[in-house]
Amino acid sequence: MKPLGPVPAGFAAIDGELAIAGRKASELVAEAGGTPLFVYSADLIRQRVARLRAALPDRLALHYAVKANPFGPLLSLMSTLVDGFDIASGGELGLVTAAGIDARAISFAGPGKRIAELESAVSQGVTINCESETEAARALAIGERLGIAPRIAIRVNPDFDLKGSGMKMGGGAKQFGLDADRVPALARHVIAAGAAWRGFHIFAGSQALDAAAIADTQAQTLALAARLTDQIGAPLPHCNLGGGFGIPYFPGDIPLDLEAVGAALSEQFERLPAAIADTAFCVELGRYLVGESGVYLTEIIDRKISHGEVFLIVDGGLHHQLAASGNFGTVVRRNYPVAIASRFDAELAEEASVVGCLCTPLDRLADKGGFPVAEPGDLVAVFCAGAYGATASPAAFLGQGPALEMLV
């Protein structure tokens, strides 16, 4: 039997069934109109934000990285909880403005911004995190054409990365941001050109569970921001320190010690270099804010024995949960937290694999895990489905189409 990932805190059984935000999985499915269904718990998101506010310095603003989950009702909720939004495309800009979010609370990063996307962002007053000199030139030209001083920050490619992170976004040659040594010249140029200078975006990596590594990266980020600001010779209004706060997905993953991260950053803030003493800071979090709040519910269609092994075949699959299938940026497949939602407090009684409905061997949501005996009609829950689920999966594959989504 292979271990399953740890079920996040905040989920309990009611009448033997998994409950999300105090409501039974079967009720949620009935209300949504079927499966597969993503359910996001507003309560768990609020609790997470409250814990972040308590642990992190008051001075630090909290931004939401929309790419993690752009579901409309969830964006509306976030607009009541966080201080800013980071987008990665014109499509995401449309989603956040549709959710009523003020464009001036939005910053736009991404290595390949199209002209039309830049025009839309500049005209609305979104901060452009420029990724190259040429992109800055395009943003300035658009501002001139529109008669608007574009709000410009520079995304910095730091000379360090976030140790132990799932994805390295800095350190060495990267498509993201401008190499640090070229930042001062560009900053002076955009300031001289009359742009509204917004500062730095420094994102060194994501999905780290090691508080010391995050604290170390934040310290290096602050030192880099101070050094670059000295070289620029103009005040730094704002600095996005990136994110990197990971969540436990896999067996043995230890949750991030958030309080340790907060304590270390508070210490840093108490002895900031003069160059950035008055700078406003934020962290940009996506997965850490919403990942553990989401559950993917899918119904068992068939129960099959092949060569003595049990397969629970569900009506969902990798077309909604690519990362859980182990096929998105992972080398070694490990199990996400998965459970039989309709028998959530039942004893484990057999080894079974949960496979999706797609006609491909890649479509496996749990490999040889321990489960109670489940039958067609039972609901399966895949946890940690709140981030990089619905939109990070090939929904149209094999003619399937998107899952339902609801915020409760």
Nearer to a copy of itself, 258 or 314 (CB): 314
b/e map of 251-284 (b: 16 or more CB within 10 Å)?
eebeebbbeebbbbbeebbeebeebbeebbbbbb
User: Closest distance between a copy of itself and the C-beta of residue 305, in Å?
Assistant: 8
User: Closest distance between a copy of itself and the C-beta of residue 325, in Å?
Assistant: 9
User: Closest distance between a copy of itself and the C-beta of residue 314, in Å?
Assistant: 6
With contact defined as beta carbons under 8 Å apart, do 140 and 150 qualify? yes
- As a whole number of Å, the CA-based R_g of the chain is 22
User: Closest distance between a copy of itself and the C-beta of residue 39, in Å?
Assistant: 19
Kindly tell me the burial class for residue 335, based on how many C-beta atoms sit within 10 Å of its own C-beta (0-12, 13-18, 19 or more): buried
DSSP alpha helix (H) spans, 83-163 = 90-98, 115-124, 133-146
User: Closest distance between a copy of itself and the C-beta of residue 386, in Å?
Assistant: 16
Nearer to a copy of itself, 210 or 299 (CB): 299
With contact defined as beta carbons under 8 Å apart, do 383 and 346 qualify? no
Nearer to a copy of itself, 35 or 41 (CB): 35
100 Cβ contact list (under 8 Å, min separation 6):
76, 79
d(CA 301, CA 317): 12
User: Closest distance between a copy of itself and the C-beta of residue 71, in Å?
Assistant: 11
Nearer to a copy of itself, 78 or 322 (CB): 322
Nearer to a copy of itself, 252 or 399 (CB): 399
Beta bridge partners of 65: 86
Q: For residue 179, count other CB atoms closer than 10 A to its CB.
A: 14
Nearer to a copy of itself, 231 or 360 (CB): 360
